[in-house]
């Protein structure tokens, strides 16, 4: 009997897939790439990590504060300074051979650690360093813990692409897990496999076969979900084979493909699968013409050697083949996997996917604005060789690491350095040598600073639906400004109606000013869309000169009917809008077009593509939905 406080079935399925992923991961950690877990700190994540620790695989933690020497192996500085001899240490990747590398806060992993980690995943070898002449072989998987907030970017795409299993446990609570399993089932659920069972499963994995239709369905499903990388269907095939071997099967079935679709393809989706158009439907045969059919030839008499054949009229009809006996086609498998993937997506994923489809040009906008290198404040970057002086500060540890391998050569000749306690008597001086440091050993500190972002909201105040649009846009702006102080973001509002565009609100983070500016805005009149895009372009240039990253959101139905000169004329107005849309695309800034038309208009979609903007149809404008779409746009990194 169902209880009133039972968790949603989708939460139970997500937790079951998370536990199954741990079992699958034991078979081939390196081949599957690992797991990317998106979950905040809490009992749910700790319970999953506790099960991960009980797998019996080598598990090495990679802190974000580690340097390249600690990751790849190199000089043990403390032992080298203590003993006076060059001492080497094994890197974290070498220690994780045939196991897993756990990366907490993987979304903040610096590029100096990300690049060799990705290279080691691709080649199966730890890259050579300045202290190691040859790379060393190692095979491992990665457990990337994504702790980013909804308004922050996640794990770097280069690392995500090489990780097979993606899990999202943000919506789960401890009560959801406890309600799904009672005590007896929890005790019976053994995440860790015995050595004999693990050996049999790995041997079974080498025997699993996939049909051509299943491979074609995996690739077609990935393409339909907007996944352009071939790594995704390859990893999905590996995951499906591992799931089949875990269940003792030598061939793939729908359950294996469905698990791969939910855990590999669905989280990578960038678009909803397009429905087949009418042009793709098979053409029906033309109707028969009204002509007299030709006379059939006379039937020859049956030969004497077939006396047992029944006459043609009495021939038994062949029964149609049973659909259960037929093998599913590639199209059937594709439909099944796409349906499984869509069923596992969280709410509001449609809007998030729509905002992620941007232009092909390289945009410079992001969550926290453009990045700038600095030498005084900001996020620390790996040190690099250079001379200290002015604003450049010496990085002591990196300088010592660069000088340590050369001490034996530099101190071949005795140095005339005395201890302060020895006075003027050289015989009383202890036999110690100072560390010889040269100018080529100097390393300086570096930092990275980020500028703030400004959301330029272009509001269409024309038409009969202007009052509803303005009311909902006001609510969306209020929701965004409530979080602006944490991200240092601001909002700029450009309203256009009649024959002019108006800078309704300069860039501000004040919620009071935004409410006051949008309260008395009238609606109705023409649509000077070109003037609005031109004013937004001018505001973006001004903000960029101030070190602020501009992002444009256009809320309009796109039916321009007022030219740049303030005159009527739909054809010229559309041409002017196209021209300034191209100018915005050349600026390289990110943009989002929210189409408020009753039916999505192809002309508006084309104008959004000209601007290099993401396109999101929203016939019924809703403040919460607008805020989620804008926040998704802000959360994307450059």
* Beta-carbon count within 10 A of 546 CB: 12
What does the pLDDT look like over 188-197, one tens digit per residue? Answer: 345 777 888 8
User: Would you say residue 302 lies in a domain?
Assistant: no
Amino acid 557: pLDDT = 82
In this structure, the answer to whether residues 144 and 205 fall within a common structural domain is no
Q: What is the mean pLDDT of the chain?
A: 75
> At which of 143, 175, 191 does a domain end?
191
Helix (H, G, I), strand (E, B) or coil at 237: helix
In this structure, the answer to whether residues 187 and 258 fall within a common structural domain is no
In this structure, the answer to whether residues 157 and 134 fall within a common structural domain is yes
Question: In the chain, what percentage of residues exceed pLDDT 70?
Answer: 71
48-52, 60-64, 330-334, 423-427, range with the lowest pLDDT: 423-427
CATH of the domain at 340: 1.10.8.80
> At which of 191, 211, 232 does a domain end?
191
* Beta-carbon count within 10 A of 432 CB: 10
d(C-alpha 266, C-alpha 581), whole Å: 33
In this structure, the answer to whether residues 110 and 127 fall within a common structural domain is yes
Average pLDDT over residues 403-425: 59
Position 35 confidence tier, pLDDT thresholds 50, 70, 90: very high
Helix (H, G, I), strand (E, B) or coil at 256: helix
Q: Is 387 left (phi over 0), alpha (psi -120 to 50) or beta?
A: beta
Under a CB-based contact definition with an 8 Å cutoff, are residues 597 and 603 in contact?
Answer: no
Q: Which two tokens stand for residue 551?
A: 């992002």
Average pLDDT over residues 88-114: 87
> At which of 291, 310, 345 does a domain end?
345
Query: With a threshold of 0.75, does the pTM exceed it?
Result: no
Range of the domain at 111: 9-191
Amino acid 239: pLDDT = 93
In this structure, the answer to whether residues 78 and 92 fall within a common structural domain is yes
pLDDT at 565 over 90: no
Query: What string of H, E and C letters represents the secondary structure of 401-456?
Result: HHHHHHHHHHCCCCCCCCCHHHCCCHHHCCCCCCCCCCHHHCEEEEEEEECCEEEE
Q: Crossing angle, helix 529-545 and helix 570-587, to 10 degrees?
A: 20
In this structure, the answer to whether residues 466 and 356 fall within a common structural domain is yes
19-23, 93-97, 152-156, range with the lowest pLDDT: 152-156
The closest alpha carbon to 252, from 219, 201, 205, 220, belongs to 205
Helix (H, G, I), strand (E, B) or coil at 188: helix
Cα 349–352–357 angle (5° rounding)?
A: 125
User: Would you say residue 417 lies in a domain?
Assistant: no
CATH of the domain at 550: 3.40.50.410
Amino acid 240: pLDDT = 92
Question: In the chain, what percentage of residues exceed pLDDT 90?
Answer: 11
User: Would you say residue 615 lies in a domain?
Assistant: yes
In this structure, the answer to whether residues 603 and 486 fall within a common structural domain is yes
d(C-alpha 159, C-alpha 106), whole Å: 9
Q: Is 73 left (phi over 0), alpha (psi -120 to 50) or beta?
A: left
* Termini Cα distance of the chain: 51
Amino acid 634: pLDDT = 64
Average pLDDT over residues 605-614: 88
pLDDT at 70 over 90: no
Amino acid 536: pLDDT = 92
What does the pLDDT look like over 302-342, one tens digit per residue? Answer: 444 444 544 554 444 555 555 445 567 777 777 777 777 76
Average pLDDT over residues 213-236: 88
Average pLDDT over residues 578-607: 86
Average pLDDT over residues 89-94: 84
In this structure, the answer to whether residues 115 and 225 fall within a common structural domain is no
What does the pLDDT look like over 262-304, one tens digit per residue? Answer: 899 888 888 767 654 433 444 444 444 444 444 555 554 544 4
Amino acid 556: pLDDT = 84
Q: What torsion do the CA atoms of 126, 128, 129, 131 make, to the nearest 10 degrees? A: 110
Amino acid 34: pLDDT = 92
d(C-alpha 406, C-alpha 409), whole Å: 6
d(C-alpha 194, C-alpha 412), whole Å: 57
Total domains, the chain:
4
User: Would you say residue 80 lies in a domain?
Assistant: yes
In this structure, the answer to whether residues 354 and 375 fall within a common structural domain is no
Amino acid 189: pLDDT = 46
Position 496 confidence tier, pLDDT thresholds 50, 70, 90: confident
Cα 565–566–570 angle (5° rounding)?
A: 95
pLDDT at 502 over 60: yes
In this structure, the answer to whether residues 469 and 397 fall within a common structural domain is no
Place of tokens 């993937």: 341
pLDDT at 412 over 90: no
pLDDT at 147 over 90: no
CATH of the domain at 139: 3.40.50.300
pLDDT at 160 over 70: yes
Q: Is the dihedral of CA 436, 437, 441, 446 positive or negative?
A: positive
In this structure, the answer to whether residues 463 and 587 fall within a common structural domain is yes
The closest alpha carbon to 71, from 161, 132, 30, 29, belongs to 132
H-run or E-run covering 213? helix 212-224
User: Would you say residue 14 lies in a domain?
Assistant: yes
User: Would you say residue 310 lies in a domain?
Assistant: no
The closest alpha carbon to 71, from 99, 41, 103, belongs to 103
pLDDT at 398 over 60: yes
User: Would you say residue 242 lies in a domain?
Assistant: yes
Between β-strands 165-168 and 59-61, what pairing exists: parallel, antiparallel or unpaired? unpaired
Q: Out of 359-363, 539-543, 544-548, 556-560, give the one with best mean pLDDT.
A: 539-543
In this structure, the answer to whether residues 175 and 158 fall within a common structural domain is yes
User: Would you say residue 532 lies in a domain?
Assistant: yes
Amino acid 403: pLDDT = 85
């Amino acid at each position: 009997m169902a209880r009133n406080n039972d968790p949603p079935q989708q939460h139970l399925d997500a937790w079951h897939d998370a536990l199954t992923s741990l079992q699958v991961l034991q078979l081939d950690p390196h081949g599957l790439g690992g797991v990317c877990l998106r979950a905040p700190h809490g009992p749910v994540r700790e319970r999953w990590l506790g099960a991960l620790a009980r797998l019996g695989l080598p598990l090495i933690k990679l802190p974000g504060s580690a340097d390249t020497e600690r990751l790849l192996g190199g000089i043990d500085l403390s032992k080298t300074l203590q003993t006076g001899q060059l001492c080497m240490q094994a890197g974290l990747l070498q220690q994780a051979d045939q196991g897993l590398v756990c990366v907490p806060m993987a979304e903040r992993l610096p590029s100096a650690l990300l690049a060799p980690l990705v290279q080691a995943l691709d080649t199966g070898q730890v890259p050579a360093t300045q202290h190691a002449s040859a790379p060393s072989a190692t095979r491992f998987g990665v457990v990337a813990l994504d702790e980013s907030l909804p308004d922050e970017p996640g794990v770097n795409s280069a690392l995500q692409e090489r990780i097979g299993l993606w899990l999202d446990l943000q919506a789960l609570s401890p009560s959801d897990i406890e309600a799904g399993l009672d005590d007896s089932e929890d005790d019976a659920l053994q995440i860790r496999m015995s050595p004999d069972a693990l050996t049999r499963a790995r041997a079974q994995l080498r025997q699993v076969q996939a049909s051509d239709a299943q491979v074609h369905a995996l690739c077609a499903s990935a393409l339909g979900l907007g996944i352009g990388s071939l790594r995704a269907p390859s990893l999905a095939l590996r995951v499906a084979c591992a799931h089949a071997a875990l269940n003792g099967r030598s061939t793939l079935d729908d359950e294996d493909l469905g698990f791969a679709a939910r855990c590999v393809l669905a989280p990578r989706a960038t678009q909803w699968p397009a429905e087949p158009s009418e042009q793709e439907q098979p053409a029906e045969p033309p109707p028969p013409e009204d002509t007299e059919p030709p006379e059939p030839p006379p039937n020859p008499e049956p030969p004497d050697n077939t006396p047992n054949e029944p006459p043609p009229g009495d021939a038994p009809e062949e029964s149609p083949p049973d659909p259960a006996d037929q093998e599913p086609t590639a199209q059937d498998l594709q439909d099944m996997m796409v349906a499984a993937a869509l069923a596992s997506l969280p709410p509001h994923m449609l809007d998030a996917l729509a905002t992620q489809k941007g232009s092909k040009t390289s945009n410079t906008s992001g969550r926290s604005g453009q990045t700038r290198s600095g030498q005084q404040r900001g996020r620390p970057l790996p040190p690099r060789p250079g001379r200290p002086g002015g604003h450049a500060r010496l990085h002591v540890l990196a300088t010592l690491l660069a000088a340590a391998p050369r001490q034996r050569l530099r101190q071949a000749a005795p140095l005339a350095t005395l201890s302060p306690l020895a006075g003027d008597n050289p015989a009383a001086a202890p036999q110690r040598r100072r560390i010889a440091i040269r100018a080529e050993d100097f390393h300086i500190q570096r930092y990275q600073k980020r500028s703030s972002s400004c959301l330029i909201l272009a509001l269409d105040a024309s038409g009969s639906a202007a009052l509803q649009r303005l009311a909902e846009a006001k609510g969306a702006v209020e929701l965004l400004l409530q979080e602006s102080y944490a991200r240092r973001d601001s909002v700029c509002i450009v309203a256009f109606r009649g024959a002019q565009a108006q800078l309704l609100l300069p860039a501000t983070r004040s919620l009071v000013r935004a409410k006051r500016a949008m309260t008395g805005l009238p609606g109705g009149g023409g649509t000077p869309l070109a003037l609005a895009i031109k004013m937004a372009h001018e505001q973006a240039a001004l903000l960029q000169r101030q070190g602020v990253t501009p992002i444009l959101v256009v809320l309009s139905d796109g039916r321009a009917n007022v030219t740049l000169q303030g005159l009527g004329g739909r054809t010229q107005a559309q041409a002017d809008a196209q021209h300034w849309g191209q100018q915005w695309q050349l600026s390289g800034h990110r943009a989002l077009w929210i189409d408020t038309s009753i039916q999505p208009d192809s002309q508006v979609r084309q104008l959004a593509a000209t601007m290099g903007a993401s396109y999101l149809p929203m016939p019924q404008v809703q403040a919460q939905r607008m805020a989620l779409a804008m926040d998704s746009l802000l959360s994307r990194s450059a």
